[in-house]
Amino acid sequence: MAHLRFHLRFPEDKIKQPVLCQINRTFPKVDTNIRRADVREKTGWMDVEFSGDPAEIERAIEGIRQKGVIVDPIELNVVE
Amino acid sequence: MTKPALKGTDKIKGLVCRECGKEYPAVSLHVCDMCFGPLEVQYNYKTIKPRLTRKAIEAGPKSLWRYVDLLPIAGDPTVGLAAGFTPLVRAKNLGDELGLDKLYIKNDTVNHPTLSFKDRVVSVALTRARELGYDTVACASTGNLANSVAAHAAAAKMQCYVFIPHDLEASKVLGNLVYRPNVVEVEGNYDDVNRLCSEIAGEHKWAFVNVNIRPYYAEGSKTLAYEVVEQLGWDAPDHIVVPMASGSLLTKIWKGLNEFSKLGLIDRMATKVDGAQAEGCSPIAAAYKLGRDFFKPVKPATIAKSLAIGNPADGYYALKATAESGGAMDTVTDEEIIEGMTLLAQTEGIFAETAGGVTIGVLKKLVKQGLIKRTETTVALITGNGLKTQEAVMNAVGRPTRISPSLVDFQKTFGLGIHER
């Protein structure tokens, strides 16, 4: 079981969409745990821990990306 | 005789989450287990204060290690012993040009050994990494950081991995290879490199300076603020103009100034910390202009590659520090960056990299807008050497004047008369 942490960023037009809920339904073997978030009218982000099989987490992350949400490592930019 | 340096927990209290305040021991950890917020080093200022006097600092080595009591290492420094304590230049010519009576350039273009301010943070990071038992260091970088990590690792006889995008310019790759680290070109775009490095940092017991060692690494930036104050005769300037990439440097300048104030090393602290970004990558300055406390990440498109961080980890904290200090932020175009570089070179004889052009360009704008006043003591941070980004000014500096090997031709070409001895 892997525990991977990501920063999810919701573009303004995606803020109202239940993205994480849909991902949970599609990938029931991946647990999502929101640890910090800030969702407002013009911005929305979440720091989320994904637990499960690494390959399944990878697929879940890809699924989130396909819904238009931007997924970054929890550290944001690590390339300086 | 100076007192021996404070050791271990005498000065380092541990790490603390910048968001929820949860405390941790001073180990290699960079994200809070509870809320995933970033961690930073906390000091025992009560034990530091009695021994840290101006006199004690002045008696220290002529390097950033004269401030070792405020740096997050437990023992004596072992890496980068000559880094820091770069010149603070009174920039009269540039000041006259911009309309400032007391302008200074903090010149990290001559930092040792790789000619950028990164030698500060890397010295601290690698010293701490050794203390924590690491023999391998790594970083993900497109330029200055990689140079510095590779050079310091070579001197410290540490294993080194440098991760770069596969399409990086040849000159930058060479600047790393010469130190013989493991240079890893990652096939993929910038985001792929970013994600892979974050994953590698989680998997391997390496000191990834800007990932798991980041809380210690970032503290090295404070020394720029300390040096500016000491070199101004223990006086804090009215303004410091800081280039912004991740925003970390600006937040640490602010932290350093506040520490000196808290420890009674300066009598007045009214410094405004101003942030400078390139228009082609300005998530932090754009948020400042919109009056927002959050930023929108961007895809960088600027010649100021060393500042091209589109999703800055410390963006929020940089906005907060500038707001607390009463400072301002602004941006410059690529053309204005080149103008800033050539203006600095032609007035003060300092050849800065593109980030220096950003600082000078924004300084010029802030003076024009009346946000920095003529009589205010102002310091511009110049963080990297122009030899690293020569291509940026290649078309803006003209060509040599060609003549035949003849005295007459020379004097004719330059309109010089024949002088009698």
Number of domains, chain B: 3
ipTM above 0.85, yes or no: yes
The DSSP H or E segment spanning B89 is strand B88-90
pLDDT at residue B173 above 90? no
Query: B300 and B361: one domain?
Result: yes
pLDDT at residue B1 above 70? no
Selection from B332, B338, B337 nearest residue B366 by Cα: B332
Query: Which CATH number is B143's domain given?
Result: 3.40.50.1100
- For residue B266, what are its two tokens? 């300066």
Determine, for residues A43 and B294 on separate chains, whether the beta-carbon distance falls below 8 Å.
Answer: yes
Spatial distance between the Cα atoms of B111 and B375, rounded to a whole number of angstroms: 29
Residue type, B137: V
Q: Would an 8 Å CB–CB cutoff place A3 in contact with chain B?
A: no
Query: B237 and B185: one domain?
Result: no
Band (pLDDT 50/70/90 cuts) for residue B199 is confident
Least confident of B79-93, B191-205, B267-281: B191-205
Selection from A62, A10, A80, A45 nearest residue B244 by Cα: A80
Count the Cβ atoms, other than its own, within 10 Å of residue A18: 10
Query: In this structure, is residue B399 part of a structural domain?
Result: no
DSSP A21-54: HHHHHH-TTSEEEEEEEEE-SS-EEEEEEEEE-H
Query: B201 and B231: one domain?
Result: no
Spatial distance between the Cα atoms of B118 and B143, rounded to a whole number of angstroms: 10
Query: In this structure, is residue B72 part of a structural domain?
Result: no
The DSSP H or E segment spanning B258 is helix B248-262
Query: In this structure, is residue B419 part of a structural domain?
Result: no
Q: Would an 8 Å CB–CB cutoff place B177 in contact with chain A?
A: no
pLDDT at residue A40 above 70? yes
pLDDT at B2: 45
Which residues have a Cβ under 8 Å from the Cβ of B373 and sit 6 or more positions away?
none
| pLDDT per position as a tens digit, B389-400 | 899 999 999 999
DSSP B103-154: EEEEEGGG-TTTSBTHHHHHHHHHHHHHHTT--EEEEE-SSHHHHHHHHHHH
- pLDDT > 90: percent of chain B: 87
| pLDDT per position as a tens digit, B15-27 | 999 999 999 999 9
pLDDT at B135: 97
pLDDT at residue B70 above 50? yes
The DSSP H or E segment spanning B160 is strand B159-165
SS3 for B381?
Answer: strand
Query: B374 and B281: one domain?
Result: yes
Beta strands B103-107; B378-382: pairing state: parallel
Band (pLDDT 50/70/90 cuts) for residue B5 is low
Query: In this structure, is residue A32 part of a structural domain?
Result: yes
| pLDDT per position as a tens digit, B93-136 | 999 999 999 999 999 999 999 999 999 999 999 999 999 999 99
- What is the arithmetic mean of pLDDT over A31-59? 94
Please list the residues that pair with A39 across neighbouring strands.
A44
Task: Give me the torsion for CA of A59, A62, A63, A67, rounded to 10°.
Answer: 180
Query: In this structure, is residue A75 part of a structural domain?
Result: no
Query: In this structure, is residue A80 part of a structural domain?
Result: no
Query: B109 and B144: one domain?
Result: no
Query: Which CATH number is A34's domain given?
Result: 3.30.70.260
Selection from B162, B110, B142, B105 nearest residue B302 by Cα: B142
pLDDT at B274: 98
- What is the arithmetic mean of pLDDT over A15-35? 96
Query: B250 and B324: one domain?
Result: yes
Query: In this structure, is residue B78 part of a structural domain?
Result: no
Domain extent for A30: 15-68
Say what the pTM is.
0.95
Query: In this structure, is residue A49 part of a structural domain?
Result: yes
- What is the arithmetic mean of pLDDT over B178-195? 90
Distance from CA of A77 to the nearest CA of B (A): 6
Query: In this structure, is residue B265 part of a structural domain?
Result: yes
Task: Name the phi and psi angles at B218, rounded to 5.
Answer: -60, -30
> Residues of A numbered 47-76 whose beta carbons fall under 8 angstroms of chain B's beta carbons: which are they?
47, 49, 70, 72-76
pLDDT at residue A74 above 90? yes
Band (pLDDT 50/70/90 cuts) for residue B419 is low
* B137: Cα within 13 Å, side-chain hemisphere: 33
Beta strands B103-107; B88-90: pairing state: antiparallel
Number of domains, chain A: 1
Query: B276 and B375: one domain?
Result: yes
Q: What is the mean pLDDT of chain B?
A: 94
Spatial distance between the Cα atoms of A4 and A75, rounded to a whole number of angstroms: 12
Query: B255 and B332: one domain?
Result: yes
Determine, for residues B145 and A80 on separate chains, whether the beta-carbon distance falls below 8 Å.
Answer: yes
Query: In this structure, is residue A42 part of a structural domain?
Result: yes
Q: Would an 8 Å CB–CB cutoff place B201 in contact with chain A?
A: yes
* B216: Cα within 13 Å, side-chain hemisphere: 28
Q: Would an 8 Å CB–CB cutoff place B213 in contact with chain A?
A: no
- What is the arithmetic mean of pLDDT over B273-287? 98
Query: In this structure, is residue B71 part of a structural domain?
Result: no
| pLDDT per position as a tens digit, B223-266 | 999 999 999 999 999 999 999 999 999 999 999 999 999 999 99
Domain extent for B296: 88-114+219-390
Query: B247 and B287: one domain?
Result: yes
Query: B279 and B375: one domain?
Result: yes
Query: In this structure, is residue A64 part of a structural domain?
Result: yes
Determine, for residues A5 and B36 on separate chains, whether the beta-carbon distance falls below 8 Å.
Answer: yes
Query: In this structure, is residue A22 part of a structural domain?
Result: yes
Query: In this structure, is residue B75 part of a structural domain?
Result: no
Selection from B144, B153, B152, B125 nearest residue B210 by Cα: B125
- What is the arithmetic mean of pLDDT over B58-79? 97
Query: In this structure, is residue B124 part of a structural domain?
Result: no
Determine, for residues A78 and B208 on separate chains, whether the beta-carbon distance falls below 8 Å.
Answer: yes
pLDDT at B3: 52
| pLDDT per position as a tens digit, B329-369 | 999 999 999 999 999 999 999 999 999 999 999 999 999 99
Tokens 């004889």: give the residue.
Answer: B349
Spatial distance between the Cα atoms of B351 and B344, rounded to a whole number of angstroms: 7
Query: B180 and B228: one domain?
Result: no
Query: In this structure, is residue A4 part of a structural domain?
Result: no
| pLDDT per position as a tens digit, B400-409 | 999 999 999 9
Residue type, B182: N
Answer whether B388's CB lies under 8 Å from B352's CB. Answer: no
Q: Please report residues of B whose CB lies closer than 8 A to that of A43.
A: 294, 296
Q: Please report residues of B whose CB lies closer than 8 A to that of A75.
A: 30-31, 198, 201, 211, 214, 313
Task: Name the phi and psi angles at A74, rounded to 5.
Answer: -60, -25
Which residues have a Cβ under 8 Å from the Cβ of B356 and sit 6 or more positions away?
B109, B243, B340, B341, B344, B350, B382, B383, B384, B386
